[in-house]
């Protein structure tokens, strides 16, 4: 049989090696009353484990190894001291890979999710984590890092990160396909953003122009572009550089879009002429950058991630408009307003959505649309019907 139990000790009387009797210990072949107290299990060339004062624990461990070997599930990595299949060890390695592949904001979210999982599972062997453990972990996620209750969408994001991690393990041949755990479903429903009609949007944009044009006209220009070029997200626009604007051919190039494929946005002639009126900067300079004169920022320092949002909210407050964020008031509102002039497919191409499911949140039916549809269900369109009194 493979493997055995041994001891580094020897008989104090004859210096003979202690031998395993297979029942209750290691004894001297010449002096049966002399027994070993320290045990070492050897299994193959790489598995070694020591036991002190517990022969039966060593025997159980060896029996387990032999059973797994006969069953075909023995994996020497499960018994190495550096724990190469430990969850924390592998999650740390996966995060190192993701840090090079993903954007900083996305990496921060992944890091937060995996830290939570490490706190729950530690360096537990990944082959011991299955459907039940993953489901329990997801259900235990009740409070976010801000102290607020975690949303179903965030719980779904955690589930997606863990699934991505296990796919990575499979691709690196750290686990076999049959060792890939099943993952529980995490359903969620995305809410709709508050939008405004085109007239209100124009009023907010004009308020932004009045408040910022003397400070930096690019503040107004950036928000105007978000209202116009509905394929561009605020986070994508803020990162463009001078080299990403091709006034000769009339295109904006989005360097790292969410869709992870090149995004070229054709520009209107009026915007091309406006850009030409700005001083030309070095190719690597951020296009949306601060000008000289503001005390709190350096000249040519890029706009912050929330800079457009800040001025949008200020303009809304000036007009007494509440509950409309930058994303909903620009991209979403413009897409919805286009329904009067364009087909859903044309609008979807303009937003550059890759799936209809994501686009459906933009092209939702409003009460006026439903009212017009309901009118078409009756023959008496527009006719006012009054009830007569009973005696009439």
Summarize pLDDT for 235-266 with one digit per residue, the tens. 888 989 999 999 888 888 887 776 666 788 88
Contact 370, 249 (CB under 8 A): no
Terminal C-alpha separation, the chain:
105
| CA–CA dist 85, 179 (Å, integer) | 13
Neighbours of 40 (CB within 10 A): 17
45 vs 160, more confident: 160
83 vs 313, more confident: 313
pLDDT score, position 387: 54
Asked if residue 204 has pLDDT above 80, the reply is yes
**CA distances in angstroms from 309 to 161, 284, 306, 333, 369, listed in the order given:** 28, 24, 5, 15, 30
Contact 87, 52 (CB under 8 A): no
pLDDT score, position 221: 93
Dihedrals phi, psi of 353, to nearest 5 degrees: -75, 140
The share of the chain scoring above pLDDT 90, in percent, equals: 40
Q: In the predicted model, what is the mean pLDDT of the chain?
A: 83
pLDDT score, position 372: 60
| CA–CA dist 209, 203 (Å, integer) | 10
| CA–CA dist 59, 198 (Å, integer) | 78
Residue 252 pairs with which residues in a beta bridge?
245, 265
306 vs 371, more confident: 306
The band of 47, judged by pLDDT with boundaries at 50, 70 and 90, is: confident
Q: What is the pLDDT of residues 67-96, one digit of tens each?
A: 888 888 887 777 777 778 899 999 999 999
| DSSP string across 147-175 | SSBPPHHHHHHHHHHHHHHHHHHHHTTSS
Asked if residue 325 has pLDDT above 80, the reply is yes
Task: Report which of 229, 313, 211, 318 is spatially closest to residue 267, judged by C-alpha positions.
Answer: 229
The contacts of residue 190 (CB under 8 Å, 6+ apart) are 153, 361
Asked if residue 66 has pLDDT above 50, the reply is yes
How does 94-132 read in b/e, with b if 16+ C-beta sit within 10 Å?
Answer: bbeebeeeeeeeeeeebeebbebbbebbeebebbebeee
Residue 43 pairs with which residues in a beta bridge?
47
| DSSP string across 41-97 | EEETTTEEEEEES-HHHHHHHHHHHHHHHHHT---GGGG-TT-TTBHHHHHHHHHHH
| CA–CA dist 186, 265 (Å, integer) | 35
- Mean per-residue pLDDT, 4-15: 92
Q: What is the pLDDT of residues 334-377, one digit of tens each?
A: 877 777 766 666 666 666 555 455 545 555 545 455 456 545 55
Q: What is the CA radius of gyration of the chain?
A: 34
pLDDT score, position 370: 47
Helix (H) or strand (E) holding 302: none
pTM of the model: 0.56
pLDDT score, position 87: 94
Dihedrals phi, psi of 103, to nearest 5 degrees: -70, 155
The band of 120, judged by pLDDT with boundaries at 50, 70 and 90, is: very high
Q: For the range 196-201, what are the long-range contacts, defined as Cβ-Cβ under 8 Å and sequence gap of 24 or more?
A: 196/321, 196/324, 196/328, 196/329, 196/333, 197/333, 197/337, 198/333, 198/334, 198/337, 200/321, 201/227, 201/329, 201/330, 201/333, 201/334, 201/337
Pairing of strands 263-266, 251-254: antiparallel
204 vs 82, more confident: 204
Burial of 370 (0-12, 13-18, 19+ CB in 10 A): exposed
């Amino acid at each position: 049989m493979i493997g055995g139990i041994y001891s580094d000790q020897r008989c104090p009387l004859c210096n003979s090696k202690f031998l395993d009797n297979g029942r209750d210990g290691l004894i001297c072949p010449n002096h049966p009353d002399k027994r070993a107290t320290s045990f070492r299990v050897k299994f193959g060339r790489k598995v070694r484990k020591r036991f002190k004062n517990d022969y039966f624990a060593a025997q159980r461990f060896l029996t387990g190894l032999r059973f797994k070997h006969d069953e075909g599930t023995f994996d020497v990595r499960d018994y190495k001291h550096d724990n190469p299949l430990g969850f924390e060890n592998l999650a740390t390695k996966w995060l190192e890979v993701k840090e090079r592949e993903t954007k900083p904001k996305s990496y921060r979210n992944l890091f937060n999710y995996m830290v939570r999982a490490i706190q729950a599972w530690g360096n537990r062997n990944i082959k011991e984590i299955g459907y039940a453990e993953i489901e329990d972990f997801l259900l235990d996620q009740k409070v976010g890092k801000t102290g607020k209750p975690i949303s179903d969408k965030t719980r779904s994001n955690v589930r997606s990160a863990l699934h991505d991690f296990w796919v990575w393990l499979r691709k690196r041949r750290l686990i076999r396909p049959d060792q890939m755990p099943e993952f529980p479903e995490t359903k969620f429903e995305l809410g709709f953003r508050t939008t405004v009609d085109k007239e209100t949007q124009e009023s907010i944009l004009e308020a932004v122009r009045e408040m910022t044009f003397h400070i930096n006209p690019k503040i107004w220009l950036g928000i105007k572009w978000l209202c116009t070029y509905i394929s561009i997200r605020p986070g994508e626009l803020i990162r463009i550089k001078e080299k990403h604007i091709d006034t000769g051919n009339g295109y904006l190039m989005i360097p790292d879009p969410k869709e992870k494929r090149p995004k070229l946005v054709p520009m209107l002639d009026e915007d091309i002429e406006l850009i030409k009126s700005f001083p030309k900067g070095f190719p690597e300079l951020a296009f949306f950058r601060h000008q000289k004169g503001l005390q709190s920022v350096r000249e040519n320092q890029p706009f912050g991630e929330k800079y457009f949002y800040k001025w949008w909210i200020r303009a809304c407050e000036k007009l007494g408009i509440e509950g409309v964020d930058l994303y909903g008031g620009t991209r979403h509102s413009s897409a919805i307003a286009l329904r009067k002039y364009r087909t859903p497919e044309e609008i979807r191409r303009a937003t550059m959505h890759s799936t209809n499911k994501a686009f459906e949140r933009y092209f939702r039916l409003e009460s006026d649309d439903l009212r017009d549809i309901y009118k078409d269900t009756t023959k008496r369109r527009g006719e006012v019907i009054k009830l007569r009194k009973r005696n009439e």
